[in-house]
Amino acid sequence: MKKLPFSRRDSAQLPLTFQTVTINCGGSFKMFSRRIAAARPLRTSFIPRQTALIPQRYASQAAASSGPAYPELTDIEDPGMNGGYINPPRVKRQFRDPYADWWDKQERRNYGEPVHEDNDILGMFSPEEYTHQKPGTAALQLGLFVASVFGLCAVVGIMYPDKQSVPREFEGGLERELGGPTAVRARAAGDPL
């Protein structure tokens, strides 16, 4: 029989760390701390809250304006409206000499060379500009192709015999000529279409 040596009234008088439970299990005594038996942690661990170094409401406005002062340029002084940046000529890199002594041979540019503001369009990894034929020659070739396809269709339409609107009928379905009554016969007069 399992017997607890104290009652609730007794346990309320003892401090929590000294309260124990004695269990009689076949002659062996085991003592457990009531705190361990309840599986409660001894104390909660401290988890620091992560916050920003400087909260946004306390950030000074002077720190935001401490950057370089850009010149105020008029539309005449800065027609590109790009802060006075001097763009190199707008030339796609595919048109530069591939055999020249470039610092970056793949992009065909030298070290320290200013980059155009539309570099993503003018670089080597942009779509290649088609320069194999002039637009007039390409339109002429496309027109010749379309005309030749329609011309071939017209020639085939004229030369190819049309299907008859009514299938040809044979007397008696050519039963005797095709091998007798068990053979597949041709179309006879009065057969359904």
Are residues 82 and 110 located together in one domain of the fold? yes
Residue 81 region by backbone torsions, left for phi larger than 0, else alpha for psi between -120 and 50, else beta: left
Range of the structural domain that residue 136 is part of: 132-163
In a domain, 175, yes or no: no
d(CA 134, CA 79): 33
In a domain, 193, yes or no: no
Over residues 97-153, the pLDDT tens digits come to 999 999 999 999 999 999 998 999 999 998 888 888 999 999 999 999 999 999 999
DSSP alpha helices (H): ranges in 108-174? Answer: 119-122, 135-159
The whole-chain average pLDDT of the chain stands at 77
Using a cut of 0.85, tell me whether the model's pTM lies above it: no
Number of domains observed in the structure of the chain:
3
